[in-house]
Amino acid sequence: MSAIALLSPSPAPETASVARLPDPLDRWDDAPAEEGLQLDAAPLRLARQIYATWLQRALQLGTYGNAGTMPALPRVAIDHQLDRALDVAGADAAALLALRDTQRQRLAELGAAAQTLAMAHGVDPAAAPVWDRLLELGLQTLQGFADLEIVFAAQRAAHDALTGLPGRAALQQRLQAEQSRVLRQGRQCAVALLDLDHFKRINDRHGHHTGDRVLAVFAATLRAGLRPYDGVYRYGGEEFVLVLPDATAAQAARILDRLRQRVAAVPVQIPDGALHIQFSAGVAALGDRAIAQTLRCADAALYDAKARGRDQVRLGPCVAA
């Protein structure tokens, strides 16, 4: 995608209002994955549109030599949208941070150049190199927005369309990164495997459409109940994995128990009433053992929770007492 092609033919005004993004749970029933991706990418797209509007106007004024009429760069509005995009990215925002910071540096320099040109009077020879730099940096910044959208789209494409959560590939990468920190820095990290109790019964009694609703609400509840840097992943079916940095297995078990009570207390609204859902969980500590072994340990603890009557959290057999 070229920078020139990103100049919108029908740009949004500089003072464009910021619309609230629809709640992901509002579109659980019939929104395709492509629509969900477009909604998630809305902040980045709006940031680009605001910037492209300004750049078009700035280049137009430069073409006709209208010194002293340079519009101010709407940095606050652009920064707000960039921050919203990182909020949507959640635990996956790390890959976007460097690109966002680079964009902010460019925007700061562009803002200073625009201010210099706005103060120029008539034909000012000293303004010529500033115009040249504004043009060069302006197109680089526009391409920077394209880079952000490409990276964001690649990340979101790897997410589960129903729950909006990353899947196994992202989980493996996160576990490798956390294990490296555990081994190099002596930090703690816990891994939990969760499974919705009696989920097959929900599908059989209420249909798969309702089952999908339950999965989407459960995923949103998990994300809302954890720290921003905790990882939530869909492992498959009704199974989910949590990655909890800087938490021991015992601490993670307490966190999961509070989360279990929260999930049980809030019913899921469905067309013919409400469903109270429960989950079981197994917890293991991430250490020097193989990642696959850690997951097996958490799975064994989950199996123990199921065998003991469900709706509870158990520590894995390989966790030291």
What are the residue numbers of the active site? 238
Spell out where 160-301 has E strands. 189-196, 231-236, 239-245, 268-270, 273-275, 279-285
Question: b/e per residue, 244-261, with b = 16+ CB within 10 A?
Answer: bbebbbeebbebbeebbe
Q: What are phi and psi of 56, to 5 degrees?
A: -55, -45
Question: b/e per residue, 80-114, with b = 16+ CB within 10 A?
Answer: bbbebbbebbbbbbeebeebbeebeebbeebeebb
C-alpha span between 284 and 197 (Å, rounded): 20
Helix (H) or strand (E) holding 114: helix 94-118
* Cα dihedral sign, 121-123-127-131: positive
SS3 at position 97 = helix
Which DSSP category does 7 fall into? S
CA dihedral 250→301→318→287, nearest 10 degrees, is -60
